[in-house]
Structure 1
C-alpha cells in the first residue's frame, strides 16, 4: 500500500458552512450565551446606535424604530445559541433588525408591489444628476419622503449593501420587482432632490 506524501495532498476549499468569521466581539457573545447580563449590556451598547439607524431608515419613525430595536435585541439574546459564526455577530444582528423592521412595515399594511406581469422597464434612464446639490441632510430628508416600499429598497440596496436577489428574498418579492422598485425609487428620489 502506497502512502501519499503530505506535500501531494491538496487542501480542499472550505464550504460556506465551514467558513467561520473572526469576530472581535466573540468573547462577549460567548458570555451572552452563558446569560451574563453585563455582556448583554455591552453588546447592546456597542450595536444599539448602528442598529437603530438601520431600523429608522426602514420604518421612517423614531418611536417605531426604538420598538423595532428593542424587539430585535430581545430576539437576538433569546436566539443567541443559534448564532453559528457564519457571519459576524453584527451582520447576524443586522439581519434580525431588518427582518423586524420589515415585519413592522407589513403590520402597518405597507404593500410591496409585485409587478412581474408589468411591462419590462428599460435599463436605468439617465437623469441630470449634475444639477442637484447633494448634501447628506437633503438626501436623508428626501429618502424619508419616499413611500415605504421605495424607501425600504433604497435603504437595503444603497445603505445596507444588499443586492437585488437578497432584497427580493428578504421582502418576499421577485428579484425583478426589487430592481424595478429601486429604479422607480431612485427616479422619485432625484425628483425630490431637484425641487
Structure 2
C-alpha cells in the first residue's frame, strides 16, 4: 500500500490503512519516544497515545510536508505533554550538580555509534535530556522549547549547554569519546 493510499484510507477510518500506517511508522516513532521516556514501557505508552492523536487528527494533515515529519511532531508534543503532566520535567534538574559542571567547547565526533550515544543521553536528568533532544535532534529553537516546556528561553539555553557538558562527561567515562589529557599549566607556560 502506498503512502498516499494509506493516508486516504486513514481519512476514511479504514482499519487496514490505519494498521498499515502504524506498522510503517511505529518503530521509528518508538525510538523518538524512547529518547524522552524513563523506560521502554513509558515509551510504548507515549507511542500509543501519540498514534491515537495521529489517527484523530489525520484530517488536519495538509500534504505540504512529509507525513513522517507531521507524525513525528505529534509524537514529540505527546512526549512533552506526558512529561509535563507527570511533572517529571520540572522536578528533574539537580541544581547542585548542574552548577558544578564545566562546559567544554569541543563537539562530539560523528563517528560514535548512534545507539551508544542514545543510551548515554538517556543517562542525563530528564530536563537536560528533553532540551537536548528538542534542540539538537528535533531542531526546535530555544524560543519554541521555552513555550513547549513552560520555561524561560535562557533556561532552555543553559540546560542545553549543561546537557552537552554532562553528555560529554558520560561519553568520556564510558570510553566512547576520547579526551586527550590536558598539559599541566606549568609545562604549557614554560614554552
TM bin (shorter chain): 0.7 to 0.9
Structure 2 residue aligned with 1:63: 41
CA-to-aligned-CA distance 1:9-52 (integer Å, 9 cap, x gap): xxxxxxxxxxxxxxx72332121111111111111111001110
Bigger radius of gyration among the two: 1
Query: SS of the residue aligned with 2:87?
Result: coil
Instruction: Say yes or no: does 1:31 pair with 2:9.
Output: yes
Q: Residues 134 and 90 of structure 1: is their aligned pair in 2 closer, same or farther, counting only changes over 3 Å?
A: closer
Query: SS of the residue aligned with 2:10?
Result: helix
> Matched residues in 2 for 1:102 and 1:142: separation?
20
User: Over the residues paired in the alignment, what is the CA RMSD in angstroms?
Assistant: 2.5
The answer to whether the 8 Å contact 1:112/1:173 transfers is no
Kindly report structure 1 stretches of 4+ aligned residues shifted beyond 6 Å: none
Structure 2 residue aligned with 1:187: 165
Query: SS of the residue aligned with 1:145?
Result: coil
Structure 2 residue aligned with 1:85: 63
Listed as ranges, the gaps of 5+ residues in structure 2 are 92-101, 174-191
Structure 1 or 2: more helix by fraction: 2
Listed as ranges, the gaps of 5+ residues in structure 1 are 1-23, 114-123
The alignment's TM-score, normalised by the length of structure 2, stands at 0.74
The answer to whether the 8 Å contact 2:135/2:141 transfers is yes
The alignment's TM-score, normalised by the length of structure 1, stands at 0.72
Q: Residues 130 and 49 of structure 1: is their aligned pair in 2 closer, same or farther, counting only changes over 3 Å?
A: closer
Structure 2 residue aligned with 1:136: 114
Total equivalences in the alignment:
161
Q: Give the C-alpha shift of residue 129 in structure 1.
A: 6.0
Greater Cα shift, 49-58 or 160-169: 160-169
